[in-house]
Structure 1
Amino acid sequence: MLKSCSVNFFKNGTNKILFRAASKDVVKSAESHMKAQTASQTLPGAYTLGNDLRVACFTNDSEISSTAIHVEAGTRNETSETNGVSNLIARLAGKGTSSSKFEDMQMKLSKLGASLDVNVTRETTSFVVTGFSKDALQHAEIVSDVVKNSVFDENAIMKERDAILTDIERNLDNLPQITMDYLYSVAFEGTPMSNPLTGSTSNVESLARKDIMQFIKHNYKAPRMILTTVGGQVDLDKLADAAEKNLGDVSADFEHATGYPQPCRFTAMEVQHRDDDLPLAHVAMGFNGCSYNSPDRIPLMLLAEIMGAHDKSHGGLAQGLNKMGAVTQNPETGLYSIRPFAHFYSDCGLFGTHYVADADNLYDTGLYICHFLRDQCLNMIDSSLARAKRSLKRKLIEDMYSLPALQGKMAQDIFFGPGRPVSLEETVSELESLSVDQVQDVGVEYIRDQEFARAAYGPTEGVFDYNQSMDALRGLRW
C-alpha cells in the first residue's frame, strides 16, 4: 500500500523518492515518563533544589572535569515550524550574555584553561564547560550564565543561520546521515521525532530571535534541568550550593497544560531515494525499540553486539567466529559494511542496522540480514552471547574514561532512567544475569515477525522486498 508524506530532503534531477507504508501503524505501550522529583525528595547520589532542579556529580582522581547543565529539550520539543531552533540555540551559546560580552567570556574561559561545548540530541540539550577540576564551581557559574542570560544578538543569529545552511548543504554528501534521517522521518512519521536535528533549509532561514526566546520560555524550566559535574573531587554539597546560588531563581512553572511532549508512536513504513549514479546503496532498517528505562534495553544492546560492526577494510576476519563479520569481510560478497544501532529515548526507541552494499547484491544482503536476525531470536548460541557480553562490558568501561560519555549517561539516567546516576557495577550485574533464553525472548518480541521501518538511498532497485523481509524474519512456525 502506497502512502504519501512530505520530507524536507534534497532531490536531484531524475532521482526518485518512493514511499511505502505497512497496512497499519505499529504502536507499543509507552513506559511512563520520568517526571521531576518533588522538592522534599533527595535522590541517591543527587540533590533536588526547591525549584525541582537536580544536581549530581561523579568524582574520580582526574585533574580534568566537565560541568554541564542538561536541559530536557531538543528536536522533540520543536514544532514543524520551529524545527532546528534547538540547534540554533546551541550554535549561539557563549556568543554573549547580559552580564558578559563574547570577548569577555572567551577571555574568562581562556584564563581557566577551559572550553565551552553545546550538544543537541532529539530530547536533550547539554551545555558543557570542560577544564581543571579545581575550577569546577567557576565552571558552574559560567555555564549557568550561558543558559540563563544569553542575549542572542541579531547579528550573531544571522551569522549562525548562514553557517547552519552551509552545514546542511555539506551534509548532502554524508550518505549514512541522510539515510538515518530518512529512517527517522518514516519510523516516527507525524511526530517531532521525525525531524532532522539541524532543521530544514526553509525553517532555518525563517527562524528569528522571537522563536528562540519563546522556545526557551516554554522549555527551559527547572524540573527539566540538571547541573552535573564529572571528574575530579568536586563536593556535591558545594555544587548544590552553587546551583542554588546561580540557578535557584529558574522558574518551575509551565505555561502549557503539560511540560512534556505527547507519547511518540512508531510507524512501519519504507522510503527509497533512488539515485543510480551512486556506486553503493545505503540501507537502514529500524524496529520499534524500547524506552531507556525499560528492562529490555540491555538485551537489545546485547543483540546489537552479537551482530557487531564490520567493514571490508577491516580484513583478516573472514574466517572469524562472527558470521556477520565473515560475510562482510569476504571479498566475494557485495556487503561492504554493516553497523547496528540501538537508540533509546524517554518513551520510545529504535533498534536496527545500517548497511552498505552494491546494487547487484542488495537482494541477497537483505535476505541474509533478515535470516541472521531471526536466528538470534530462535537459535542463539551461548558463545555468541558470551562474546557480546565481553564486548559490551568493554565499551561500558571505556565510557567511564570519557567525560562526554559520562555526562550523557548521567543525563539519561536522571531524565529517563531511575532518576539517579546508575553505577557501572549495577549495569554489569544486570548484563551478566541475562541468559540466552531471556535475550532470545526480547528478540522475539521486538524483531521476529515484527513490522519495521526502512530507508534506502542510492541504486535501490534491488532492495529486498518488504513482504519477503517479513517472511524471512518470521520463518517457519510449528
Structure 2
Amino acid sequence: MSVQFDTLPNGFRVVTEPMEGLESASIGIWVTAGGRHETEAQNGIAHFLEHMAFKGTTRRSALEIAEAIEDVGGYINAYTSREVTAYYARVLRADVALALDVISDIVLNPVFDPAEIEIERGVILQEIGQALDTPDDVVFDWLQEAAFPDQPMGRTILGPEARVKGFSRDDLAGFVQSHYGPERMILAAAGAVDHDEIMRLAEVAFGGLTRGTDAKVLPAGFASGERREIRNGLEQVHFTLGLESPSYRDDDIYVAQVYGNALGGGMSSRLFQEVREKRGLCYSIFAQTGAYSDTGMTTIYAGTSAEQIGDLADITVAELRRATEDMSEPEVARARVQMKAGLLMGLESPSSRAERLARLVAIWNRVPPLAETVAKIDAVTVDAVCDFAANLIMPGKAAMAVYGPADRAPHLDAIRDRLAG
C-alpha cells in the first residue's frame, strides 16, 4: 500500500494511505488556521469556531451530527492547535462516505445559531476555568507567553475570558471567510479507504469552493522572558524551562528530538535518573521538543516542593551543561530507537497515520517516504547531539514559567548565567 496525494484545481489537497487488513478508517479535514492566525482581538476564536462546528449546520442539528456518526458506531471529534484546526472521524469501511459528508457539512455549512453560540460560550468559559485550575496545564501556556511575548504564537489557544465573552456571530463567520479557503484545507484519510473514491467525494464536497486570499502570518520570534505566579495554597512548585529549538522544516529537528529523548524522554533519561531516581526530588520530570513551521522549543517540566525547587533547578541546569560534553553513544542510540519505535508504533493506528499525513502535507506539501525519515533519525550522531546541546544553552534563548509556592525558585537571569557558564 502507498500514499497517494492529489490537489484539486482550487488548491484543496487530498492525501490517503490504505492500510491492508483494516476494516476501519480515519478521515478528517485539517485547516491551516489556528491560534497563531488570530489577531489579538480574535484570540480564542479559532477554538470557539471548532466548538461551533458541532452545534448545527444548514442540513443537520447538533444532535443529528452526533447521531449520524454514532448510529454507525463511529467517533467524531476536533481540536485546535497553534497552527491548525482539525475535524476528524473514525468509522468502519462502509461508512467512509458518510463520515466525509458529515465532516464537510460541519466545516462548510455551520449556521452559528445565536442561542447555540451562547450555550457554547458558557462551555468554553468552563473549559478556561478548568485549565486555570490545573497548574501543570496552565504553566505551559505561561511558558509559551514568556517565550513568545506580544505575538500570536505566545497567546493561549482558549483565549482570555474577556475575549471569549465578546465574540459574535459575525466574528465567527468573518474568521471562516478569511481563513477557511480550499487552499488551506487538507483532507487526510488512512485505513480502509480507496483514494479514487475519496477524490470523487472531495470533488463533490469541496471542488466548488473559491480559492481565498493568502493570510499573512507573523513570523515567531523567540524571546527570553519569565512569568512567576506565586500561589502558596498549592502543594508543589510547577517549574518549566523553554529553550529555542529548530522548526519542523529544519533538518536539525531530528537532532533536537533525539536530544530531548536522551535528556528527559523516559525513565532511563538523564533528568529522570538524576532528579527523581537518585535524589527523589520530584514525581514527574520530563523534557520534550516541540516544533512549528518557523520555530520550536525544547521544554523541561518538573513539579517539586517549595523547599526543593532550588536543588531541582540546580541539577537541571547542571544536566543541560553536562549534555554538551559527555553524551554517550548508548544514550543517543537509545533515543534514536525510541524515536523510531514511537513513529512506527503510531503508524499502526489509522488515526495517527491520517494525522501524520496531514501534518507532513502542511509542512512540505508532500509526504516524505518513511525510509527517508528513519534515515534522518539514524544519521544523528553523538557529536551532533553535543553540538546541539551547546547551542541550545546560549545566553538569551531561554524562557521560564513557575507556578505555586515559588518564592525560593531561582529567577531566569540566574539560570541563564549558569547555563552560559
Bin for the TM-score computed over the shorter chain: over 0.9
- Equivalent residue for 1:190, pick from 136, 150, 156: 150
Alignment-derived partner of residue 273 in structure 2 = 326
- Equivalent residue for 2:14, pick from 23, 44, 55: 55
1:306 aligns with 2:262: yes
Alignment partner of 2:71: what SS? helix
- Map of 1:206-285 to 2, 5 A cutoff? 206-232=166-192, 234-254=193-213, 258-285=214-241
Paired residue type of 1:292: Y
Native 8 Å contact 1:309 1:338 kept in 2: no
Alignment partner of 1:266: what SS? coil
Once the two structures are TM-superposed, the CA of residue 414 in structure 1 deviates from its matched residue by 0.9
Alignment partner of 1:81: what SS? helix
- Equivalent residue for 1:426, pick from 372, 388, 411: 372
Question: Quick one: distance in 2 between partners of 1:180 and 1:446?
Answer: 19
Once the two structures are TM-superposed, the CA of residue 466 in structure 1 deviates from its matched residue by 2.6
Alignment-derived partner of residue 69 in structure 2 = 109
- Map of 1:363-382 to 2, 5 A cutoff? 363-382=310-329
Gaps of 5+ in 1: 1-43, 311-319
Question: Quick one: distance in 2 between partners of 1:228 and 1:389?
Answer: 28
Q: Deviations over 1:229-250 (max 9, x none)?
A: 1112x22222112111110112
Alignment-derived partner of residue 331 in structure 2 = 384
Q: Deviations over 1:280-323 (max 9, x none)?
A: 1011111112211110111111111102346xxxxxxxxx8644
Quick one: structure 1 residues 280 and 409, their matched pair in 2 at CA, closer, same or farther if it must change by over 3 Å?
A: same
1:147 aligns with 2:107: yes
Native 8 Å contact 1:327 1:335 kept in 2: no
Native 8 Å contact 1:338 1:354 kept in 2: yes
Alignment partner of 1:227: what SS? strand
Alignment-derived partner of residue 302 in structure 2 = 355
Once the two structures are TM-superposed, the CA of residue 260 in structure 1 deviates from its matched residue by 3.3
Gaps of 5+ in 2: none
Native 8 Å contact 1:292 1:412 kept in 2: no
Aligned residues: 419
Question: Quick one: distance in 1 between partners of 2:386 and 2:216?
Answer: 34
Paired residue type of 1:471: D
Paired residue type of 2:289: A
Question: Quick one: distance in 1 between partners of 2:68 and 2:233?
Answer: 51
- Greater shift in the superposed pair: 81-90 or 401-410: 401-410
Once the two structures are TM-superposed, the CA of residue 358 in structure 1 deviates from its matched residue by 1.3
1:456 aligns with 2:402: yes
Once the two structures are TM-superposed, the CA of residue 399 in structure 1 deviates from its matched residue by 1.3
Question: Quick one: distance in 1 between partners of 2:119 and 2:218?
Answer: 34
- Map of 1:339-350 to 2, 5 A cutoff? 339-350=286-297
Question: Quick one: distance in 2 between partners of 1:405 and 1:342?
Answer: 19
Structure 1 vs Structure 2: percent identity of aligned residues? 26
Q: Deviations over 1:83-114 (max 9, x none)?
A: 11111111122322112233433333233322
- Greater shift in the superposed pair: 445-454 or 276-285: 445-454
Alignment partner of 1:268: what SS? coil
Native 8 Å contact 2:188 2:355 kept in 1: no
Q: Deviations over 1:7-26 (max 9, x none)?
A: xxxxxxxxxxxxxxxxxxxx
Question: Quick one: distance in 2 between partners of 1:124 and 1:192?
Answer: 13
Native 8 Å contact 2:275 2:312 kept in 1: no
Alignment-derived partner of residue 167 in structure 1 = 127
Q: Deviations over 1:172-220 (max 9, x none)?
A: 2211111001111111111111111111111111111111000000000
Normalising by structure 2, we get a TM-score of 0.94
Alignment partner of 2:307: what SS? helix
Paired residue type of 2:137: Q
Native 8 Å contact 1:328 1:337 kept in 2: no
Alignment partner of 1:359: what SS? coil
Once the two structures are TM-superposed, the CA of residue 136 in structure 1 deviates from its matched residue by 1.6
Quick one: structure 1 residues 190 and 460, their matched pair in 2 at CA, closer, same or farther if it must change by over 3 Å?
A: same
Once the two structures are TM-superposed, the CA of residue 150 in structure 1 deviates from its matched residue by 1.1
Native 8 Å contact 1:86 1:120 kept in 2: yes
- Equivalent residue for 1:440, pick from 370, 376, 386: 386
Quick one: structure 1 residues 140 and 322, their matched pair in 2 at CA, closer, same or farther if it must change by over 3 Å?
A: closer
Paired residue type of 1:96: G
Once the two structures are TM-superposed, the CA of residue 57 in structure 1 deviates from its matched residue by 0.8
- Please report the RMSD computed on the Cα atoms of aligned residues, expressed in angstroms: 2.0
Quick one: structure 1 residues 300 and 397, their matched pair in 2 at CA, closer, same or farther if it must change by over 3 Å?
A: same
Native 8 Å contact 2:47 2:80 kept in 1: yes
Alignment partner of 1:223: what SS? helix
Q: Deviations over 1:31-77 (max 9, x none)?
A: xxxxxxxxxxxxx7310110011000121121111110110001111
Alignment partner of 1:112: what SS? coil
- Equivalent residue for 2:246, pick from 281, 287, 290: 290
Alignment-derived partner of residue 473 in structure 1 = 419
Question: Quick one: distance in 1 between partners of 2:300 and 2:222?
Answer: 17
Once the two structures are TM-superposed, the CA of residue 393 in structure 1 deviates from its matched residue by 1.7
Question: Quick one: distance in 2 between partners of 1:106 and 1:466?
Answer: 48
- Map of 1:65-84 to 2, 5 A cutoff? 65-84=25-44
Once the two structures are TM-superposed, the CA of residue 451 in structure 1 deviates from its matched residue by 2.6
Q: Deviations over 1:112-137 (max 9, x none)?
A: 32222111111100110210023223
Quick one: structure 1 residues 111 and 379, their matched pair in 2 at CA, closer, same or farther if it must change by over 3 Å?
A: same
Q: Deviations over 1:324-369 (max 9, x none)?
A: 2223334754233212121111111111211112112212211211
More helix as a share of residues: 2
Quick one: structure 1 residues 326 and 109, their matched pair in 2 at CA, closer, same or farther if it must change by over 3 Å?
A: closer
